[in-house]
Amino acid sequence: MEAKAIAKYVRMSPIKLKPVADLVRGKDADEALTILKFTPGKGAEIIEKVVASAKANADVKEMNVDNLYVAEICVNQGPTMKRWRAGSQGRASIILKRSSHVSLTLKEKE
C-alpha cells in the first residue's frame, strides 16, 4: 500500500529543489523529516511539508506509520511567469519566475 502527496505551483525553481529531494530519496519517513529539519534553505521546508502530508495521508489510510519509506520523490517544472524589467538605453530585460511541482510516494516496508 502507498500514500501520496503533491505540492503544485511551488514558487521555487526545480534546480534548487532537486538536490534536496535527492537527500531523502529511499530513506525512512522519520529519518527524512529529521534530515530536512536540519537542512538549510527554503527548499527543505517545502519538501518537509510534502513528506509530513504524505505521512498524514498514510495515517488516514490506516497504514503502519513506523514502516514507511520514501519510495519515489519527483520534482518537475511548473509554469514560468514572465516579467519585464527596464534595461539600459530603453531596452527591456526578461525575468523568468519559475515554479515547481513536487510529488512524493511513501510505501510500507515488507
Per-residue pLDDT of the chain (110 residues; tens, 9 = 90+): 899 999 999 999 999 999 999 999 999 999 999 999 999 989 999 999 999 999 999 999 999 999 999 999 999 999 999 999 999 999 999 999 999 999 999 999 98
The structure's pTM equals 0.89
**CA 20, 22, 23, 24 torsion: positive or negative?**
positive
Shortest CA distance to 76 belongs to which of 6, 27, 25?
A: 6
Q: What are the grid coordinates assigned to 32, written together?
A: 527524512
Question: Residue 54: enclosing H or E segment and its boundaries?
Answer: helix 42-60
CATH top class, domain 2-108: alpha beta
Domain boundaries, the chain: 2-108
Q: Give the Cα-Cα-Cα angle 106, 50, 80 (nearest 5 degrees).
A: 120
